Amino acid sequence: MRSREESLAGFSKAMTCHLGDFTEYSRIRRALTDTEKNASKTSSRARKSVTEDSLSRLLPGDVVDVPTGRAPGLAVVLSSDHHSREPRPAVMTLDNQLRRIGTQDVEGPLAPITRVRIPKSFNAKVPKSRRDLASSVRNALRENRPPAPPSRNDDFGRAAALPDQERKITELRRELRAHPCHGCSEREDHARWSERYWKLRQETDGLVRQIQGRTNTIAKTFDRVCGVLSSYGYLETSDAGVLTISPDGQRLRRIYGEKDLLISQSLRLGAFNDLDAAEVAALASVLVYQAKREDRGLRPKMPSVSLESAVDVVVHEWSALEDIEEANKLPLTGEPELGLVWPIFKWAKGRHLQDVLSGTDLAAGDFVRWVKQVIDLLDQLAKIPSLDPRVARLCGEAIKLIKRGVVAYSSVA
């Protein structure tokens, strides 16, 4: 943005005029151009609307002169088209050709020039019927028969631009000619720099709005996050009214992951306290694993009563945390997934990989990848200074249990 502002300053200097304020003059030019474009669009829309209206009003027997298209010339309307979005009445030319006409075949409203009666026995598929009708059209033209009287609702004046637009264009042109810069010999050079200036100005203003919008969103989200952390006691307010990090908050700082707050709460509530090393690894998988949508199912029975209780603590705390996040309009923490508990538990107990994956939809490569993420979480927990020494020791033992075989090999590779 700063780079663009520097360019804008250079453009502004280049379009400086000794006769007056060229910025004001360019504003008038742009306003005139925009108004003329809008008037042209309005006129075009009106012309198209009037043309479509004239085509929809044609009746069987009306004779028209089609100016352009595939077969221009005189033609008689065989069937009208009142209800179509873009009317295309069927006509027959004087050389007995059948076709339909639309807005692309005319340059404005199409009015009948005479009228003939189409016999009830007329059949467009019979050449003699077409020849007889063409002959009737020629006779009507020679006799100058008048067309049907126009409807009271016919209004071809709508094709003109709106009067207020024409008035505004006239005023802007007068204002432009009266401006001092209009007589400058370098006017068009200044105008080119002006166009560059206003184009870049528009882009820069959009960039500023984008930055402000993102900044405001980040600030609001930050305040909401601080509110949630304060409600959990991870942030404290000092006597001077300044937010500081509590001891529990210092522990949270050491945890990295999408479920970091849930992991910290699980530690605080003692979910890891009554587990052995293999169960610690299995519980860590609950806080790391993300199952595919189609792989989610009923909650499996846990390998032990203590692990069942620990999982209950995690799930209950996740439910409470989700309610708080939703109330504060924050992204929701993902639901704890139990699909990796048994494979990790078996792997920690020394079972073979084939046995571990039996009955699951996990590929060996996916299993190894998730085990590595479980190891990463356990390593983070083991290094938290304020963590219960027993839990920290169990995290280290759990890493040793699951970092074996193909997992250890892939880590070295």
266 with 136, same domain: the answer is no
Handedness of CA 216, 222, 225, 230 (dihedral sign): negative
Amino acid code (one letter) for 133: L
Note the pLDDT of residue 158. 43
Those residues whose C-beta lies under 8 Å from the C-beta of residue 120, and which sit 6 or more positions away, are none
- Tens of pLDDT, residues 29-87: 888 888 888 877 777 777 777 878 888 888 898 998 888 777 688 898 898 766 667 78
* CATH number of the domain enclosing 348: 1.10.3380.30
Taking alpha carbons only, the member of 280, 282, 244, 286 closest to residue 381 is: 280
Q: Tell how strand 98-100 and strand 114-115 pair up.
A: unpaired
Note the pLDDT of residue 307. 96
Note the pLDDT of residue 162. 61
Which residues does the chain have with pLDDT short of 70?
71, 81-84, 148-162, 293-297, 412-413
256 with 221, same domain: the answer is no
Within a domain: residue 172? no
Which residues constitute the domain of residue 94? 58-154
Side-chain-facing half-sphere of 247: CA atoms under 13 Å: 4
In the chain, the number of structural domains is 3
Note the pLDDT of residue 156. 43
Query: Using CA atoms, how far apart are residues 25 and 179, in angstroms rounded to an integer?
Result: 7
Within a domain: residue 367? yes
Q: What pTM, to 2 d.p., does this model score?
A: 0.51
* CATH number of the domain enclosing 80: 2.30.30
Note the pLDDT of residue 159. 42
Taking alpha carbons only, the member of 238, 387, 219, 318 closest to residue 230 is: 238
Alpha helices in 143-186 (DSSP H): 163-178
Tell me the residue length of the chain.
413
- Which tokens sit at 324? 């708080």
DSSP 330-399: -PPPPPP--TTHHHHHHHHTT--HHHHHTTS---HHHHHHHHHHHHHHHHHHHT-TTS-HHHHHHHHHHH
- Tens of pLDDT, residues 198-214: 888 888 888 888 887 77
CA distances from 299 to 202, 305, 346 (A): 56, 15, 18
Note the pLDDT of residue 293. 63
Within a domain: residue 390? yes
Note the pLDDT of residue 400. 95
278 with 404, same domain: the answer is yes
358 with 248, same domain: the answer is yes
Asked if 32 contacts 169 with a C-beta cutoff of 8 angstroms, the reply is yes
Within a domain: residue 314? yes
Segment holding 8, helix H or strand E = helix 2-14
